[in-house]
Each structure stands twice: as C-alpha cells, then as structure tokens.
C-alpha cells in the first residue's frame, strides 16, 4: 500500500505507481513473489534520493574507469617510447647487467606503491629484492634509489600508516644482503676516487645525455606553461593519493641519482640506466596530463622518430649534435652486415689455428674466447713467458679491447721462435662496441689497417 502524505495525493496514481516500481527495482527494494510485485513504503522524496544515489554510483564507476584508462594510456605511451629509444635498446640488448637494472627499477617502483597501499609484506619483499639486484649489478646505481626512498618517505610518512617503519625494515634487510659482497670487495678502499671537484661538470654531462638521448628537458616547461595558461595544475583530477606520491617519487629520483653520479670518479652513460624508465614514464605523464590530444600525438611521433626537439632546443648551447632519426638508424644497424677487427681475427684463427693451441695477448679477450676454442692467456697477469711452455700464437694488440694500446714488440730471444703474420683488418674504433650512444659505431669501418700475429715456428 502506498502511503499518502501531503501533496502526493494530487499526483496521478499511475505515475506514483511506476515511479515507485522503478526506484524500488534499482535499489533492490522490490521483491518478486508469486508473480506480484510487493512495494515498500515510499515517501515523496525517496524516489529522488534513490535516483541521486544511482547517479553518484554511476559517477564513481566513471571515475574508476577514467583512472584505469589513464593508466593504460600512460603504459602504452611508455612502452612506445621504450621500444623506439635507441639508447635503451643499445644497452638492453647487450649481455650485461643493463636489462636487469631497468627491470629492478620498475620492480622497486611497484614495491614502493604496494607499501603505500597497505601491502607491507609483498611490497617490502619486492623493494628489498629490487635493491639487492641493482646492488650486485652495480653498487653505484643503487645509491641514488636509496637516497630517493629516504627523502620521499620522510615527506609522505604521515599520510601512510607504518610506511616509515616498513622502509626502515626494508633498508635494514637490504643492508644485510650486501654484507657478503662488501666483505669481499671492500669498496671503501675506492673512497679516494670520489671527486666532488668535478661535480658540476659531471652533472652537466649526465643532463646532456638525458636531454639528447632519453627525454628533452624542455618538456618539463610544459607543466608551468600549462599552469599559467589555464590556472589549473592539470586537466585530470582522478589520481589516487598513492599514484600522486609515486609520481612525486619519480621526480625525486632524478636529483637523487644526479647527486650520487656527480661525485663518482668516472662518467658513463650506463649509470643512467635506472633513470631511463623513470624519465620515460614522466614524459608520458606530462604529455597525457598537460598537452591537448592533437599536439600530444604530434609530439609522440616526433619523439619516437627523431631527436629534432632535443637538438633545436639546445642550440646554440650545444652544436655537436645534428638532427637525425636514432631509432631508424638502429633498425638499419641490426639489419645490416657488420664486420670489425675482432671478426677478421676470428676468421683467421679458425682457418689457421687448432682448438688445442694457446693464444697470448695483453687483454682478457672475453669476446674472442666466445668465438674460438683456444686457450687464451692474459699477458697482464703472466708477463714472463715460460721457455718450456711458450704460447702457439701471440697477438701484438687486442682484437676486442675497448682501451687503445700500443702493439707489443717481441724480445730478441723470442723473435727467432716466431713468424710474424700481417693481417689486414678493419680499422674499427676501440669504443665501437660500447652501447653509449655518443661513442657507439653502428656500421662497418670503411678503412683497413694492419695487425700482426706471431705464429710459433714448429
């Protein structure tokens, strides 16, 4: 029975009946029993309240869908930038620790977010393992992450219950995992190599590498420009607190790593590997949150295919770079035939040497060992040759070493025991195989040079 109250009696009965059935159905108030609809008591304002609750619920679902859509778009843009970034591809394809460092960096970000969202066991495990992997790959690259974690946690610990305690536990657990290597390597003996006097020069060198090979720094200016033009921080206000703090953590990682790298004894582009996923994610977020769709797609296309933005925005401060298409050049490189000094030496030894013979050279020659079955003797550790066990072959200079060296000259006592063989080899740069985009040589050297191999006279 519908309760009549006030002006509700003046409404047509049929309207009140259908309205009550509709509102009761969407809220679960009506029940179907024996083919008849039992209606609950309905006040004049109750249908409108239920409709409002339905609208609020729909709005919440739309916001949830918007968040998922934004995350998916950022992911797609990030993956697109990764697979078209030549510096990223040059490093991750090498059989070294670079790919592990990138994987561990993403693992660390995910673990830190889990700690924020109330999953201390899983998040803590991921965080500790990610730090340990990076430490055993290269202890220099992990120090920036530790510094950034400390700074970020202090800033946001009041918003997340037990976050500070969990981070302290994680860092303590990570410190325990580093003890075996610290006891063996004793890296504190290298403390005299720290050079704060070159801090500014080193940081500028790394910023140049970031600008030209990872993320044009001019993109950061999009944020203040958009703010002053629209008087809004960003067009989308659907971020969860944890997502906002993770984005802030990404920004903190950049200066934290640069502070550590600025006092390191040497500068190598590979030390920026942990920052590559960080910078690419930030680039995707900037383009999605602060740039209109048409301009966004244009910028994505330019950033994927060319370095034009980086080159034009750095001129005239930096004129050593020219406009090019790094990703297209990378594809051309991996689809072209490549020959270098190492391949020439390997070809000769396979044709003229035997697997049970030995080769003497002043380098570790790991690459050469990979391609031949001979016993390679590193002359840096056995500078005195045993007259009763002389090597079958002697390389006058390294075939694969990245450090230039002067060809050795055999002493008089050995000249009569060896026959010199002069090989024509490609004049490949010693730095050609390094993945650093500024030193890597993608194609075969056009010139030839000579290399002497000494063959033992039987």
Pairing of strands 375-378, 358-361: parallel
CA–centroid distance for 63 within its chain: 30
Please name every residue paired with 36 in a beta bridge, in sequence order, or none if there are none: 33
154 and 274 housed in the same domain: yes
User: Does the residue 250 lie in any domain?
Assistant: yes
Q: Is the dihedral of CA 108, 111, 116, 121 positive or negative?
A: negative
Shared-domain flag, residues 200 and 310: yes
pLDDT band at residue 62 using 50, 70 and 90 as cut-offs: very low
- Residue 260, CB half-sphere, CA atoms under 13 Å: how many? 21
Same domain, 117 and 229: yes
**Residue 1, domain member (yes or no):** no
Within a domain: 297: yes
Number of domains within the chain: 3
What DSSP assignment string belongs to 331-373?
HHHHTS----HHHHHHHHHHHH--TTSEEEESS--HHHHHH--
The whole-number pLDDT of residue 192 equals: 64
Task: Output the CA–CA distances (angstroms, integers) from residue 375 to 52, 327, 371, in the order listed.
Answer: 81, 39, 12
399 assigned to some structural domain:
yes
DSSP secondary-structure letter at 408?
A: P
**Whether residue 209 has pLDDT greater than 80:** yes
The percentage of the chain sitting over the pLDDT mark of 90, rounded to a whole number, equals 50
Same domain, 18 and 108: no
Please state, in angstroms and as integers, the Cα–Cα distance from residue 76 to each residue in 289, 300, 445, following that order.
14, 11, 37
Query: What Å distances lie between residue 247 and 226, 239, 250, 412, CA to CA?
Result: 18, 10, 5, 67
Given 307, 332, 357, which residue is the final one in a domain? 332
Q: Tell whether 118 and 199 lie within a shared domain.
A: yes
Residues 39-64: what's their mean pLDDT?
A: 51
Same domain, 187 and 272: yes
Within this chain, do residues 23 and 117 fall inside the same structural domain, yes or no?
no
- Domain interval for residue 49: 6-59
* pTM of the model as a whole: 0.80
The C-alpha angle with vertex 209 and arms to 222 and 226, in degrees rounded to 5, equals 0
Q: Mean pLDDT throughout 74-88?
A: 94
Residues 105 and 201 in one domain: yes
Domain final position from 312, 332, 352: 332
Q: Are 410 and 418 in contact (CB under 8 A)?
A: yes
Q: Which helix (DSSP H) or strand (DSSP E) does residue 75 occupy?
A: helix 46-83
Query: Do 102 and 244 belong together in one domain?
Result: yes
In DSSP terms, 423 is beta-bridged to: 451
377 and 401 together in one domain? yes
32 occurs within a structural domain: yes
Per-chain mean pLDDT for the chain: 83
> Could you tell me if residue 382 is inside a domain?
yes
Asked, for residue 36, whether it belongs to a domain, the answer is yes
Among the candidates 21, 42, 59, a domain finishes at: 59
pLDDT digits (tens, 9 = 90+) for 220-254: 999 888 888 876 544 444 457 778 899 999 999 99
140, 41: one domain = no
Question: Does 356 share its domain with 394?
Answer: yes
pLDDT computed for residue 226 by the predictor: 85
């Amino acid at each position: 029975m519908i309760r009549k109250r006030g002006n509700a009696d003046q409404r047509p009965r049929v309207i009140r009946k259908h309205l009550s059935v509709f509102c009761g159905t969407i809220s679960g108030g009506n029940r179907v029993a024996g083919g008849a609809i039992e209606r609950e008591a309905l006040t004049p304002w109750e249908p409108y309240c239920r409709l409002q609750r339905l609208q609020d619920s729909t709005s919440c679902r739309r916001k949830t869908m918007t968040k998922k859509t934004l995350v998916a778009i950022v992911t797609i843009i990030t993956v697109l930038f990764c697979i078209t970034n030549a510096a990223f591809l040059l490093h991750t394809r090498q059989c070294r620790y670079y790919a592990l460092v990138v994987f561990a960096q993403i693992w660390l970000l995910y673990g830190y977010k889990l700690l924020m969202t109330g999953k201390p066991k899983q998040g803590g495990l991921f965080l500790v393992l990610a730090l340990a992997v990076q430490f055993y790959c290269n202890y220099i690259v992990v120090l920036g992450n530790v510094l950034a974690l400390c700074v970020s946690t202090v800033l946001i610990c009041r918003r997340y219950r037990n976050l500070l305690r969990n981070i302290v536990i994680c860092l303590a657990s990570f410190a325990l995992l580093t003890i075996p290597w610290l006891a063996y390597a004793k890296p504190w003996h290298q403390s005299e190599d720290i050079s704060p006097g070159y801090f500014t020069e080193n940081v500028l060198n790394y910023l140049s590498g970031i600008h030209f090979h990872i993320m044009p720094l001019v993109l950061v200016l999009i944020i203040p420009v958009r703010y002053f033009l629209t008087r809004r921080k960003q067009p989308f206000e659907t971020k969860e607190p944890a997502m906002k703090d993770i984005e802030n953590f990404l920004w903190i990682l950049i200066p934290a790593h640069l502070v550590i790298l600025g006092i390191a004894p040497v500068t190598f582009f590979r030390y920026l590997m942990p920052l590559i996923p960080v910078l690419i994610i930030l680039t995707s977020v900037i383009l999605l949150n602060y740039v209109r769709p048409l301009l966004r797609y244009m910028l994505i296309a330019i950033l994927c295919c060319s370095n034009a933005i980086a080159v034009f925005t750095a001129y005239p401060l930096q004129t050593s770079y020219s406009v090019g298409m790094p990703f297209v050049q990378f594809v051309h490189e991996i689809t072209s035939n490549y020959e270098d000094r190492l391949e020439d030496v390997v070809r000769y030894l396979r044709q003229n040497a035997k697997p049970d013979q030995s080769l003497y050279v002043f380098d570790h020659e790991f690459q050469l060992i990979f391609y031949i079955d001979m016993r390679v003797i590193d002359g840096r550790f056995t500078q005195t040759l045993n007259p009763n066990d002389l090597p079958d072959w002697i390389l006058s200079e390294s075939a694969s070493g990245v450090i230039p060296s002067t060809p050795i000259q055999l002493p008089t006592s050995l000249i009569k025991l060896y026959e010199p063989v002069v090989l024509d080899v490609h004049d490949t740069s010693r730095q050609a195989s390094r993945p650093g985009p500024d030193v890597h040589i993608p194609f075969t050297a056009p010139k030839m040079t000579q290399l002497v191999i000494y063959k033992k006279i039987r």
